[in-house]
């Protein structure tokens, strides 16, 4: 089967990592899979060098939506299936259906953001739509008029294989954390919707006599504003910015719990990765968050904006005994590793493709 995975650009986000993982897994399963992006470059492109990623823009125009020659390129490739992953890629689905009448063009819903008109049009035109959580599928049916038979749920895959890696003493020391410091971890691109500002405001109300740090890992345009907020609140000794980690395993291994306050989400890759490594979580309500963990067992979901409830959940987890923490962590690992197993998700995609294109 010839599969074309379409992505806007290989920036450091979760959808981009899923695009690379799926393309590689489809190839390993014996299919002719290609990853095509609109823009060249991007933080993750070097890690996908083995895939020979193609780009439509001859040099980076700085425009996510610009896809010169897309229809001509896909006609020449003659794929059996096109899987649109990025936001702008999904905006091209209706046109791709016209250009490839014999192919299955699969749209995806992997965001809680408001959708532009072209995206909504693509959802209606697609051969099929994959949502990455049950809440997103409900949105497809109730809000966007996608027939239930044309909508499936396939969860995100765990990108980084969980390991038994222990805490990174050098990393903790570099960031000024002692052996007993409770590390509250967030790993995400710094974009407004990821809402790291809210995590800073929540942390600002934690007891000063408690030994804690908040680690906000990642890069992005909203980082500078977060750093200014930390300085204004006098939290420079408590809130740390470790930067971007190609593999965040050392961060997970060194943390005490995961914290997440995104207001626009659809199954947080960060939360499922943290759970797979045994980190309990405190998260604000957003699409798919309750499917990333077992609420009130492997973590707590609080109403968005309720800082008092967020702090109370953090303090409850930090105060747990080593035995309680170990039991909660074991449950989190078991749930995440079974639910978001890459082999299971890849096979779900391939099974869908076989149903849409029988005989290929």
Considering only CA atoms, which of 313, 324, 316 is closest in space to residue 285? 313
User: What pLDDT, on a 0 to 100 scale, did the predictor assign at position 169?
Assistant: 87
Segment 115-127 shows an average pLDDT of 97
The residue-averaged pLDDT of 75-101 equals 97
- pLDDT tier at 266, thresholds 50, 70, 90: confident
> Quick one: pLDDT band at residue 193, thresholds 50, 70, 90?
very high
216: confidence class by pLDDT, cuts 50, 70, 90: very high
Residue 164 has pLDDT above 80, yes or no: no
Fold of 169-339: Rossmann fold (3.40.50)
Q: What is the pLDDT of residue 248?
A: 93
Evaluate if residue 359 carries a pLDDT over 90.
no
The confidence score (pLDDT) of residue 269 equals 93
Is the pTM higher than 0.85? The answer reads yes
Q: Which long-range contacts (CB under 8 A, 24 or more apart) does 339-346 make?
A: 339/155, 339/272, 340/155, 340/156, 340/157, 340/158, 340/272, 340/276, 341/157, 341/158, 342/21, 342/25, 342/157, 342/158, 342/159, 345/154, 345/155, 345/156, 345/157, 346/22, 346/25, 346/26, 346/29, 346/157
- Residue 79: Cβ-neighbour burial (10 angstroms; 0-12, 13-18, 19+): buried
pLDDT of residue 163 exceeding 80: no
pLDDT of res. 160: 87
Q: What is the mean pLDDT of residues 90-99?
A: 97
Mean pLDDT of 21-38: 98
The pLDDT of residue 113: 87
pLDDT of residue 181: 96
328 band by pLDDT with thresholds 50, 70 and 90: very high
Q: Is the pLDDT of residue 68 over 90?
A: yes
Q: What is the mean pLDDT of the chain?
A: 95
The CATH architecture one would assign to domain 2-157+341-356 is 3-Layer(aba) Sandwich (3.40)
CATH 3.40.50.2000 intervals, the chain: 2-157+341-356, 169-339
Q: What is the mean pLDDT of residues 138-159?
A: 96
> What pLDDT does residue 145 have?
93
When pLDDT is averaged across residues 124-151 and rounded to a whole number, the result is: 96
- Whether pLDDT at 161 is above 90: no
């Amino acid at each position: 089967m010839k599969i074309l995975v379409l992505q806007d650009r290989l920036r450091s986000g979760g959808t981009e990592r899923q695009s690379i993982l799926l393309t590689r897994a489809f190839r390993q399963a014996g299919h002719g899979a290609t990853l095509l992006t609109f823009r060249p470059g991007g933080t993750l492109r070097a890690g996908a060098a083995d895939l020979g990623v193609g780009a439509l823009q001859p040099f980076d125009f700085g425009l996510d939506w610009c896809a010169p020659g897309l229809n001509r390129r896909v006609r020449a490739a003659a794929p059996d299936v096109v899987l649109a992953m990025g936001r702008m890629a999904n905006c091209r689905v209706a046109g791709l259906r016209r250009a490839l009448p014999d192919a299955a063009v699969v749209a995806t819903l992997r965001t809680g953001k408001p959708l532009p008109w072209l995206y909504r049009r693509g959802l209606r035109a697609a051969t099929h739509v994959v949502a990455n959580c049950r809440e997103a599928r409900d949105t497809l049916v109730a809000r966007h008029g996608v027939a239930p038979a044309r909508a499936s749920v396939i969860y995100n895959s765990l990108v980084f294989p969980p390991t038994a890696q222990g805490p990174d003493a050098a990393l903790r020391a570099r960031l000024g954390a002692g052996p007993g410091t409770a590390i509250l971890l967030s790993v995400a691109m710094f974009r407004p919707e990821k809402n790291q500002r809210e995590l800073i405001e929540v942390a600002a109300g934690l007891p000063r006599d408690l030994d804690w740090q908040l680690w906000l890992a990642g890069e992005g345009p909203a980082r500078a504003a977060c750093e200014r907020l930390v300085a204004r609140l006098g939290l420079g000794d408590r809130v740390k910015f470790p930067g971007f980690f190609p593999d965040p395993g050392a961060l997970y291994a060194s943390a005490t719990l995961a914290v997440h306050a995104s207001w626009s989400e659809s199954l947080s890759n960060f939360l499922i990765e943290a759970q797979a490594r045994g980190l309990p979580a405190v998260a604000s309500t957003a699409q798919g968050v309750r499917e990333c963990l077992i609420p009130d067992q492997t973590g707590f979901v609080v109403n968005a904006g309720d800082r008092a409830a967020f702090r109370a959940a953090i303090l409850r987890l930090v105060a747990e005994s080593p035995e309680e923490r170990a039991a909660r962590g074991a449950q989190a690992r078991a749930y995440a590793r079974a639910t978001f197993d890459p082999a299971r998700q890849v096979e779900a995609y391939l099974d869908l493709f076989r149903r849409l294109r029988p005989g290929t």
